[in-house]
Chains A and B, each alone.
Chain A
Amino acid sequence: MQHNYWIYLFIMFAVTYLVRVLPLVVFRKKITNRFVRSFLAYIPYAVLAAMTFPAVFFAVDCVPAAAAGVLAAVIIAFKGGSLFTVAASASAVVYVMLLIL
């Protein structure tokens, strides 16, 4: 490696840190604009939905197994399962499917 590890490390840290912390420190006041408030209220769900699909189907080497895991997660989440229950069931279903397939 001709470049310095420590400089790489510093760049990675500094950029990630600033992107995360600056907005938090800058936007200290409550935003009053109704459109912006609504926009920010929907952001978490939109981010999660976009991050999950279609990526979740490729999180496992075998797409049908991943699909079965998604189905299990959706059903249990729909019935009001906790974070851990839903995540663990999806994981268990994927494991069983990988054993079968």
Chain B
Amino acid sequence: MSLQAFKKGLRDGIAIAIGYFSVSFSFGITAVASGIDWWQAVLISLTNITSSGQFAGIGIIAASGPYVEMIITELVINMRYALMSISLSQKLDPTFKRWQQLILGHMNTDEIFAVAMSRNKTVTPIYMTGLALLPYIGWTGGTFAGAICGNILPTMISNALGIMIYGMFLAIIIPAMKKEHPVLVVAVVAIVLSCIIHFVPAFSFITDGFSIIICAVAASVVGALLYPVSEEEEDAEHAA
């Protein structure tokens, strides 16, 4: 039973792992290009497991920026994870022990979060371990490969791999938008806001990390006001 959950997690993590490999490959290249040793880049990936925070981080290291700047930048870019962790906390299986949360909680990346939340079951520690394992290896391995091999991978292939992560996101939101009208509305609101912030010059001061927080909070508030979820609906969902 638990072996099955572990295998299911592994399977769900394959697409994430491949996507991560390509993204962290470019992180490895960028890190070395900005004067960081390959093992330093690998250590960053091993301990951080996040793309935008790491890219911003090596920018600061390369420029020898103040430590305070590093703290604030990481805090702002990663703040969205707090939102996701609160959301995930409600979906964790009661068998989750404190020490398991302390370890597996750090694996709550955008993509792992998305996959974990898209299941209609609670998230058990064994499933979460399976789900996080391959992406973690892919992320660290990709950084190593990128830092060592540099530009061996043809641009066309790295380009094509770069869209995988987004393909996965679409695979999660599209079926939900099709099935549930409220999700459709929430997603459309989030997309419209995100495009406005991105394309209207007056909002260009908003960083990507903040933009995601603003859009997600606003769209979810709209959803919660217009379509409050009833307890019965949730229970029905969990029973499925």
Contact = CB atoms under 8 A, between A and B. Distances in A.
Whether both chains belong to one complex is answered with yes
Interface of A: 1-3, 5, 7-9, 11-13, 15-17, 19-28, 30-31, 34-56, 59-62, 65-66, 69-70, 73-74, 76-78, 80-92, 94-95, 98-99
A11 B199 CA distance: 32
Interface of B: 12, 14-15, 18-19, 35-36, 40, 43-44, 47-50, 53-54, 57, 60-61, 64-67, 70-71, 74-75, 78-90, 92, 98, 101-102, 105-106, 108, 110, 113-115, 117-118, 155-157, 159-178, 182-183, 186-191, 193-195, 198-199, 208, 211-212, 215-217, 219-221, 223-225, 227-231, 234
B205 to A, nearest CB: 17
A16 B195 CA distance: 27
Nearest to A17: B106
Given A27-B89, A37-B234, A94-B159, A53 B224 contact: no
Given A13-B48, A54-B199, A49 B194 contact: yes
Contacts of B118: 44
A38 B74 contact: no
B78 A46 contact: no
28 contacts: A1-B61, A9-B47, A12-B44, A15-B74, A16-B48, A16-B50, A31-B90, A34-B231, A39-B224, A42-B186, A43-B220, A45-B177, A46-B223, A47-B80, A47-B110, A47-B114, A47-B212, A49-B188, A50-B191, A52-B191, A53-B194, A77-B173, A84-B15, A87-B15, A87-B165, A88-B15, A98-B156, A98-B160
Nearest to B195: A54
A86 B53 contact: no
A83 B159 contact: no
